[in-house]
Amino acid sequence: MNTEFYAFGEILWDCLPTGRHAGGAPFNVACHLVQLGVSSSLISSVGQDALGDEILELAQRNGVNLDFISRARPGLATGTVLATIDALGNATYDIVQPVAWDEITVSDAALQAVSQAGALIFGSLASRSPYNLEQLGRLLAVKGPLRFFDVNLRPPYADPARIVQLAAHADVLKLNHDEVGQLAAWLQTGEARPNPAEDAEAVAAACAILSQATGTPRICVTMGSAGAALWDRGSLVSASAPKVAVQDTVGAGDSFMAALMVGLTRGAETQTVLETACRLGAYVASQAGAIPRLPPEMVRELRGKLGAGASETAPEIPAP
């Protein structure tokens, strides 16, 4: 099954105070892409265990194509993350290592399928293993899809040099205002110190530094409740975020990324894309878990604004 969008990286269980939820940024993005009306495949790995069986069943129910999710060798379990939520709804993570998604094999069939795709997303967390870096390199050598790179600087998996190296292969880079400031500081001083970009001028300056170092033409910066900005070859467009009562922020950035991917791939107007992505991210933050089911009327509105009428290969998601 050839799908339109592909995601490379982790699929895992987020163990939250509210219970166990399927997660991993690439998996979350793939699920949200399906809700937005485009078909998606995940390139990943799960263990030969009950948690692997369960998460594959859930991914299938969410409409994600499983053709390129492999079973890991014995001894590598399905990934788990212990997530804690503070009083403001912000999450911190204890990410188990090594696990199945530390050894993601990119098959020749996956390379061929990606060459015919509209977009590919890859994240920084899966690059923590040398095995995945080698496999990702094969994937990024494929010509064709628009490449989106999702940065997550989560210590101890926050190597600025590796981020800059991977960003050089991206058409669109997405990160938050803390991360763009930290990377800009590292590029200027060699020290990855906290340096959050707090306003439009600071965001634009940090994006210019990062783009000059990597050659990435478009950089999207998320700013939580303050919204987001897209730097495109020196021009900055900003959008505010709707005010919501935050339940937890898990998956909010991943839903934002899904909307960004669809809108930019479809050629929708930048301001509309940002506003729509912010609205989706805010809604997810107001719900429990990373991939809440979107109301049908919201789905129709989002698809219309992003130019994402349901593709021929995007399956209908059954009601829970």
pLDDT along the chain (320 residues), means of 10: 91 84 95 97 98 97 97 97 78 87 98 97 96 98 97 89 97 97 96 89 97 98 95 97 90 96 97 98 92 95 85 47
Is 295:67 a contact under the CB 8 Å cutoff? no
Residues whose CB falls within 8 Å of the CB of residue 222, separated by 6 or more in sequence, listed in order:
174, 175, 176, 177, 228, 253, 256, 281
Question: What is the pLDDT at residue 2?
Answer: 77
Is 169:181 a contact under the CB 8 Å cutoff? no
Q: Which amino acid is at 251?
A: G
Q: Report the C-alpha gap between 222 and 241 in whole angstroms.
A: 10
Q: DSSP H helical segments within 172-267, as ranges? A: 177-189, 200-214, 252-266
Question: What is the pLDDT at residue 318?
Answer: 46
Closest to 136 (Cα-Cα) out of 168, 158, 159, 177 = 168
Question: What is the pLDDT at residue 1?
Answer: 59
Residues whose CB falls within 8 Å of the CB of residue 237, separated by 6 or more in sequence, listed in order:
229, 230, 270, 271, 274
Question: What is the pLDDT at residue 309?
Answer: 63
Name the pTM for this structure.
0.93
Tell me whether residue 87 is exposed, middle or buried, using C-beta atoms within 10 angstroms of its C-beta: 0 to 12, 13 to 18, 19 or more: exposed
CATH fold of 5-306, please?
UDP-N-acetylmuramoyl-L-alanine:D-glutamate ligase (3.40.1190)
Helices 252-266/270-285 angle, 10° precision? 160
Tell me whether residue 297 is exposed, middle or buried, using C-beta atoms within 10 angstroms of its C-beta: 0 to 12, 13 to 18, 19 or more: exposed
